[in-house]
């Protein structure tokens, strides 16, 4: 049986916050399942950088393929941001935040920015929302 990739394997840097701690305690398959449930598989595949919109469903299956390391990094990161925003503002706001134009991201969406690897910008945008400094 193949070993499931962890957040550390994916190159996620340590940050001291509850959302990060929760995300790294989960395997990549569980993170993918939770993101699929929250955002839908098409968006999850897109933010991970997959060309196939069904990839996230395969990654979530116990017997499915695993995402490549760069995709796993994006998945863990997206889940951490999901947790931060949903905890502060609720799941509905978190869904809208992921797909909406964001002034902190030059009016791009967090989904696109994560796919492009602009993780620091997305983390700043999420923190701005959580801190109520979302003026842009």
**Phi and psi based region of residue 123 (left: phi greater than 0; alpha: psi -120 to 50; beta: remaining):** alpha
Amino acid 1: pLDDT:
47
Identify which of 89, 99, 107 has the alpha carbon closest to the alpha carbon of residue 47: 99
Amino acid 135: pLDDT:
57
Amino acid 2: pLDDT:
53
Q: Tokens for 102? A: 């964001």
Helix H segments across 10-90? Answer: 18-24, 28-39, 41-48, 55-60, 69-89
* End-to-end CA separation in angstroms for the chain: 47
User: For residues 120 and 125, what is the distance between their CA atoms, to the nearest angstrom?
Assistant: 9
Q: What is the pTM of this model?
A: 0.82
- As averages over each run of 10 residues, the pLDDT of the chain (136 residues) reads 56 56 80 98 98 97 96 97 95 98 97 98 96 70
């Amino acid at each position: 049986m193949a070993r499931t990739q962890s957040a550390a394997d994916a190159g996620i840097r340590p940050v001291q916050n509850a959302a990060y701690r929760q995300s790294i305690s989960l395997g990549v398959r569980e993170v993918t399942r939770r993101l699929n449930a929250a955002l839908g598989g098409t968006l999850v595949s897109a933010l991970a950088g997959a060309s196939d919109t069904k990839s996230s469903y395969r990654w979530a299956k116990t017997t499915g393929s695993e995402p490549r390391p760069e995709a796993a990094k994006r998945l863990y990161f997206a889940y951490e941001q999901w947790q931060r925003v949903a905890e502060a503002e609720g799941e509905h706001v978190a869904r809208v935040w992921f797909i909406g134009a964001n002034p902190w991201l030059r009016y791009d969406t967090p989904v696109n920015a994560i796919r492009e690897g602009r993780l620091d910008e997305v983390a700043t945008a999420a923190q701005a929302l959580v801190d109520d400094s979302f003026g842009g």
